[in-house]
Amino acid sequence: LPSLLLLCSSSLQSTYFAPTDPMDRADPARGRLAVLSSHLLAAGAEPAAALERSPASAAAPGTRAGVLAVVDSRTGKRYEVKVSEDGTVRATDFKKV
């Protein structure tokens, strides 16, 4: 089950999440948390004494594959764009619109 990180206060301790380089590409989530915590601490908030993990679960998403219907409001012409299994469309498919 995935876990969500809940904040017990309005700020984080910057040293808790801060990697050596705040924008370390190996762990971008920690980098984002370090930047966020530095912003909150700069606002004069007190550092959080504790952080709490909360387990969360959700049903797996169903099939996202299919077809997206696009209607050009200028001409009324209808186009169909294929949607992949992961729920994405190719930008080049919109060239025909």
For residues 31 and 7, state if they share a domain. yes
Residue-level pLDDT at 70 = 93
For residues 49 and 80, state if they share a domain.
no
Query: In this structure, is residue 60 part of a structural domain?
Result: no
Q: Encode burial over 37-71: b for 16+ CB neighbours within 10 A, e otherwise.
A: bbebeeeeeeebeeeeeeeeeeeeeeeeeeeeeee
Number of structural domains, the chain? Answer: 2
Q: Is residue 61 part of a domain?
A: no
Picking from 2, 45, 41, the residue whose alpha carbon sits closest to that of residue 18 is: 41
Confirm whether 12 is domain-assigned: yes
Question: Which residue range forms the structural domain that includes residue 8?
Answer: 3-55
Q: Is 44 a member of any domain?
A: yes
Segment 28-72, tens digit of pLDDT:
888 888 888 888 776 665 555 556 666 777 777 778 899 999 999
Q: How many CA atoms lie within 13 A of 40 on its CB side?
A: 18
Q: Does the model's pTM come out above 0.75?
A: no
